[in-house]
Structure 1
Amino acid sequence: MPDLYDPNRPYPGREEPDGPTPEATGNGTARPAGHGDGSPWATSAGPAPAPAPIPAPAQSPDPAHARAGADESAHFPPVPDSVPSPEPGRVPSGGADADRIRIGLWGAPRSGKTTYLAALPIAAMQYQRHHEGAWNISGMTPEANAFLSQGIDLLTRQRTFPEATMGIRDMAWSVQGPQKKGMWGIGRRRPSFVLDIQDAAGEVFGDGHPQQAQLVGRLARAQGLIYLFDPLGDAEEATENFNFLQSTLTQLTAQVRNRQELVGGRLPHHVSVCITKFDHPDIFKPSAELGWAKQDTEGAALPRVPQEQSERYFQWMCDDFRGSNARLVRDALYAYFDPRRISYYATSAVGFRLTPQHVFDYNDYVQPVLVETKQRLRTSPVPINVLEPLIDLEERVHRDRGREGRANVRRGRKQR
């Protein structure tokens, strides 16, 4: 296996071998062409450059360019799951139910659910690089800790992807964040909660699957949902996002309705929509060329879709990039959930390949390559928008609970 350097380790005064080039991928993707002298992206020549900001996207991006290369997708090969599920009753309660937040993970087959979970603790460790304070994640059971350890080892040391989930796997993680201002800026609070995760194979979300009712029941009890939208998988009939969304939404609405918990006729959940595989050239290249991505002005100069433009980016992804069934995904999300409770993120679980100087290079950014018939990562992961959707969900659920608590206090005062 080639000597692949680790961008998370310093290399003062050293030049490290860089592993295979993107031309060796075997997935039909070649090294993206540069932009010539006018490129806004950083390159690996010389010391880390000071990147220029990338222009904001036009109001109506050109769909002709957006569709370029969209039909040639690459998927990580599914393999059997190896981490056992905890037995019923073995997951500690983690305190009062009021402190317990349930997050459901949702997506079609090969949308990257297991890789997202494996990258989550890495993103938590890297959070303090660019933000104040730190987040840390630990398992509440031996099985959950084994998943965390194995996932980190696979992505960082072995430089390969975790095995795909088979069936449904329950996990409980303790998540603790940095101290922040409390509600309405009064006092301070430290986010500390138990994250209940039901990691399910994408096929379970399909209509008629024997485990679908079990999964839907767990999603119904969740306060927040992370929905992984895979623009590449949506191009294939077997993994179309809408096929695995509509059936689950119908059953989910029926269960919540029967419990009399619909809000204004819609599901009460907060939702973080993650547009996955942002690092893949078939997604990233048209996103960059149309100006959706902007480059960080410090650190590794990573490209990102600004949060304030993320919903418009999802709209473009559905209307112009994918079209057809992707538009139905968007329509279903807006119909079943309150749009004000949905946020959007351009996400990459493994991030981009970085130079030995820890800088993004537009001419050589492809991360996974084919090495001896197996997909390998060229550099250690730097996840993009993996932890942020979870932080957002925790804050929104916390605000909801605060409003409910104040409303209960007011009702109690009136009753006196």
Structure 2
Amino acid sequence: MQEPVRNTRYADESTEDVPANPVSAQPRGAIPMPGREPPAGRPGPSRNGIKIALFGPASAGKTTFLQGLLTGQPNRERHGEWTATRVGGDGAGETLDSDLRRHAMRGEFPAASTRRAAETWRIQGRYPQAPPPPRRRLLSGTPLPAPRREESFDLTIVDRPGSHSLRPAEEMLREINDADGLLLMIDPTLMLQPLPVVGDKELDSTMAYLFRMLPDLASHRVNDGGSPRLTQHLAVCVSKFDDPAVYARAKELGVVDREPTGPPFVPSGDGARRFFTDLCDRSAGPGDFQIPNLLTRFDENRVDYHVVSAVGFYIEPGHDFDEGTFLNVIQRNGKPHIKRQMPLNVWEIVIGLYESIMRERRR
């Protein structure tokens, strides 16, 4: 049995939270009028104007999630082919994008950010080729491929740098308010152990972050003449599933599933929600047990739950998943190093949130 190694890979990331990317300050879902140019440094709208914001407390794994998005791929048979391309932004955004790719190629975690980055990624893709209808055939009888529509939407990462969650800035609130969908990253390692100390201060709990963010977001909506009810589609994502302590707790709870040869996973939906609720109830963070109640500010029909790992479990090439050798993070020269980044449920969550928004739009 492989000796457990404490997963301290996020020591750097605890101060990394990559900050806010600009999105249009128009009403949610609005598309700019023809001929109107976006503000300088900001990208124009995606094909359908859909925006998704990625946010969460310090150390939740937002930047590592983004790195997994840039280096991974969804299941092509089910989801097709997708890409993430940086658009707009400034020099800091260019540096972030190149740093993420460079660190990924070296098996390194993202470095801590020191300033807010103006950053947006354009997500584009095509679903798998659909079978042609019976009449759609060439004269030779060969099926004529059905056209595949290109999908497109924007993903922005919203937060300030630093290990402590400062009160949300006006720009951050506007970016979240303007989004159609939200990806909320939850760090389970902050719940399974006493809150770590960064410098001379204790890292903020998940509840402390949300207790500041969500009421301020509701107030921002009211000040804009809207309702305090948060109307975005919300994907609650428990991160760092590959962490030994997190994986062990999920197994104890009985929510882990497996394909015959693939890595273990927690099914999205009821299983992931049960795991999330259990973490909140058991959390060492003061007040974390109230997080589920705080999330009732959102429409429950627009909230879903997921468990994700931007790093993934290590699986020896040519072998199946092995409980004794799944640790994917090792210490090298005193720093955490990724043996082989194999993102789990990263692209699937992003695409699934986009699909939820589109389904509602088509009603």
Deviation at 1:340, TM superposition (A): 1.4
Unpaired runs of 5+ in structure 1? 1-20, 30-72, 404-416
User: Whole-Å Cα distance in 2 between the matches of residues 361 and 113 of structure 1?
Assistant: 27
After superposition, what is the alpha-carbon deviation per residue over 1:307-328, rounded to whole angstroms, capped at 9, x for unaligned? 2422222222222466852221
Report the Cα distance in structure 2 between the residues aligned to 1:24 and 1:304, rounded to whole angstroms.
20
Residue 153 (str. 1) matches residue 153 (str. 2) = no
Aligned mates of 1:256, 1:311 — CA distance in 2: 27
1 or 2 for the larger relative contact order (CA 8 Å, sep ≥6)? Answer: 1
Give me the whole-angstrom Cα distance separating, in 2, the residues matched to 1:232 and 1:116: 16
Alignment map for 1:149-298 (pairs within 5 Å): 149-155=98-104, 157-179=105-127, 190=149, 192-201=151-160, 206-207=165-166, 209=167, 212-234=169-191, 235-236=194-195, 237-262=202-227, 266-298=229-261
Q: Are the aligned partners of 1:169 and 1:199 in contact in 2 as well (CA < 8 Å)?
A: no
Superposition RMSD on alpha carbons, in Å?
Answer: 3.3
Partner residue, 1:351: 312
Letter in 2 for 1:137: A
Residues 1:399 and 2:351 aligned together: no
More displaced stretch, 240-249 vs 316-325:
316-325
Question: What is the CA deviation profile of residues 138-180 of structure 1, one whole-angstrom value per residue up to 9, with x for unaligned ones?
Answer: 222485565444323312x211101123342222222122237
Which one-letter code corresponds to 1:190 in the other structure? R
Judge conservation of contact 1:205–1:212 (CA < 8 Å) in 2: no
Classify 1:76/1:257 alpha carbon distance in 2 versus 1 (closer, same or farther; 3 Å): same
310, 328, 331: which one aligns with 2:293:
331
Q: Mark the runs of 5 or more structure 2 residues left unpaired by the alignment.
A: 23-37, 131-145, 196-201
Give the TM-score normalised by structure 1.
0.68
Match of 2:34 in 1: none
Alpha-carbon separation, structure 1, partners of 2:149 and 2:301? 25
For the pair 1:75 / 2:7, whether they are aligned, the reply is no
Instruction: Answer yes or no: is 1:312 the counterpart of 2:259.
Output: no
TM-score (norm 2): 0.77
CA-CA distance at 1:206 after TM superposition: 3.3
- Aligned positions, number: 321
Distance 1:212 1:140 in 2: 23
**Partners of 1:77 and 1:252 in 2: CA distance:** 29
Q: Distance in 2 between matches of 1:146 and 1:167?
A: 12
Give SS of 2:84's match: strand
2:342 corresponds, among 348, 359, 382, to 382
Aligned match of 2:26: none
Answer whether contact 1:352 1:382 (CA < 8 A) is retained.
yes
Distance 1:100 1:285 in 2: 41
> 2:119 is paired with a residue of what secondary structure?
strand
Identical pairs, percent: 25
> Among 83, 91, 115, which residue is 1:136 paired with?
83
Contact 1:114 1:163 in 2 (8 A): no
The aligned amino acid for 2:275 is Y
Q: 2:206–2:285: 8 Å Cα contact kept in structure 1?
A: no
Query: Tell me, what secondary structure is at the counterpart of 2:106?
Result: coil
Q: Please point out which of 38, 42, 56 is paired with 1:91.
A: 42
Give the Cα separation in 2 of the matches to 1:204 and 1:355. 34
